[in-house]
Structures are given as C-alpha cells and as structure tokens.
Amino acid sequence: MKCYDCPRECGVDRTTERGFCGANDKIAIAKIIKNFMWEEPCISGSKGALAIFFSGCNLRCDFCQNYKISHGCSGEFYTPEEFRKLINNFDLSKFSSIDLITPTHYSSFLCEALKDFKSPIPIVWNSSAYEKTDVIDKISQFVDVFLPDFKYFDNNLSKKLSFAENYFEKASSAILQMIKNKPQNIFIDGVLSKGVLIRHLVLPGQVKDSMKVLDFISKNVARPFISLMGQFTPLGKYFSRKLKPLEYKVVLNYALKLGLENGYFQELESASNSFIPKF
C-alpha cells in the first residue's frame, strides 16, 4: 500500500521503502511516559497523561525539542493490533488523557488500531497540523481532542525550518477541519474531553509571523481556545538564542488585543533544557 497519509504525499510502499517521515509499516514508539504533566492543565489533568511519543516525523523541524526521536525512527515497533493491546494493558483510570504525540505519519495504522476502541478517557491528537483534511476526517472518529501546533504563516520560514513550503495552506485547512469536526469544547473535571486547543510557539525574531498566525485564528475561528508558548530552546542550526521576554510580551499583547483571551499563556522561565524529555 502506497502512503499518502500526509501532505508530503510520498507515494512510497512503506513495507519496502521510507518516505520523508522515515517510518515503515509498523507503529514505532520511542517512549511512553506515564502521568506526563508537561502539557496544558486541561490535557494533563490532575492525574497526568499517558504520553506516547512516536518515532519519526513528517515535518522534522530544525529546532525540534524531541529531535532524537523525530529525526530518526527507532524504538519499539507495533502492528495496529499490538498497539491496541498495548493501550488496553494500561489501567486508563489512572490517567487524565491518552496523549498521542507526533502521530500524523501513523494516521492509517492508528485509525485501524483505534477504530472501535472505547476509551474511558479522552484521546488527544497532539500534532504539528501538517496534515490532510480527509485524514483529519478519518481520525476524528476515534480522537476526542485535537491539539495542533500552528507553527508558521510565512512559506519561506516553513520551507527553511521544516522543508514544507505549503505548511500554512495545509495546516490552516487541517485546523479548520478539526474545528468543524469538534466544534464545541467540552470539559469534564477541568479536562478537555472534546474539542480543539490550538498551540503556537513564538520563535526568536519571528514576532510578525506569530501575529499573522494569530490574525488568521482570530478571523477564522469563532471561539478560539489557544495556548501561546514561549519556551523556545535553541537546538537547531538556525536559531542561536532563546526567545526574548519582550518578544513574547509583544505577541501576547497582540493576542489579547485581538480578543484571544481564552487559553494558556506562559512564563518564559520555562525556556529550559530541563523541559525536554530525555530519550
């Protein structure tokens, strides 16, 4: 079966070849962290998430905080059936959510694994948003919460940092489709049990790009729920510094001016390597 799961549309047969994401025809998991508390409070909840970090990535950003797993494809390999059993073996009552982290390149396999899975806690699709609308429709059937990271507006920036010249076009369409499929945010005991939380990480020197992303959200999403992140850590070859507190403040003030008050805003002290999971 040839793979067209994401906007790269490599068309490779993953049983014998690898596309841009580096994944083969099994679900590769780099790490599972129990009671993961590093997401937004409505995702981590009081018990923490069951965080599943998938290997490989269809975006492979230069500044990726999880580059050790995203820029390769190692770990434990599972068929969809084995993945389903893996999830079933956890006592899910001990977690607030199931956090599927960077899952896009396993969309077809996860659809198969989770199609009739009745989860007692929300399943969160924690992605880069570089996704196809028809694939979003399929995964909407088993995912409760979308947590897309809306990264760039400018095509030159996305090309330089993520090899994706059409990032904005694809991500904006994917996010609008997520909202169409999960139009209402529903919380149970402070945990987002259905809905969409849009993340945006402000990059050093890219305040204007962040403003354009926020403009798009403000104009196109009726009741946006956002998470404005500033914990950028310079790990790649393009950025040599952290985000300045003033840069974050300018973007934050702009978001508030647009009326984007419903969401999460960060303290920049969190821009530390200690927030990067070790693999």
Side-chain half-sphere of 66: how many Cα atoms within 13 Å?
A: 21
**164 lies in the site for ligand SF4, by CB under 6 A:** no
Name the residue nearer to ligand SF4 (CB basis): 138 or 249. Answer: 138
**12 lies in the site for ligand SF4, by CB under 6 A:** yes
CA angle 28, 21, 195 (to 5 degrees): 75
User: 114 with 88: CB under 8 angstroms?
Assistant: no
Name the residue nearer to ligand SF4 (CB basis): 102 or 185. Answer: 102
Name the residue nearer to ligand SF4 (CB basis): 3 or 255. Answer: 3
DSSP secondary structure string, 105-168? GGHHHHHHHHTT---SS-EEEEE-S---HHHHHHHTTT-SEEEEB---S-HHHHHHHHS-TTHH
Region near ligand SF4 per CB under 6 A, out of 20-28, 131-139, 142-150, 233-241 = 20-28
* Spatial distance between the Cα atoms of 247 and 183, rounded to a whole number of angstroms: 31
Total residues contacting ligand SF4 by CB under 6 A comes to: 14
Query: Which residue in 1, 4, 30, 35 binds ligand SF4 (CB under 6 A)?
Result: 4
**30 lies in the site for ligand SF4, by CB under 6 A:** no
DSSP 184: S
Query: Which residue in 9, 13, 165, 267 binds ligand SF4 (CB under 6 A)?
Result: 9
**Token pair belonging to 45:** 């909840």
Question: How near is the Cβ of 8 to ligand SF4 at its closest, in Å?
Answer: 4
Name the residue nearer to ligand SF4 (CB basis): 127 or 266. Answer: 127
33 Rama class: left (phi>0) / alpha (psi -120 to 50) / beta: beta
User: 233 with 269: CB under 8 angstroms?
Assistant: no
Name the residue nearer to ligand SF4 (CB basis): 108 or 266. Answer: 108
**8 lies in the site for ligand SF4, by CB under 6 A:** yes
Distance spanning both ends of the chain, measured CA to CA: 31
Query: x/- binding map, residues 103-122, to ligand SF4, per CB under 6 A?
Result: --x-----------------
Residues 32-91 touching ligand SF4, rule: CB under 6 A, are 58
Residues in contact with ligand SF4 by CB under 6 A are: 3-6, 8-10, 12, 19-21, 23, 58, 105
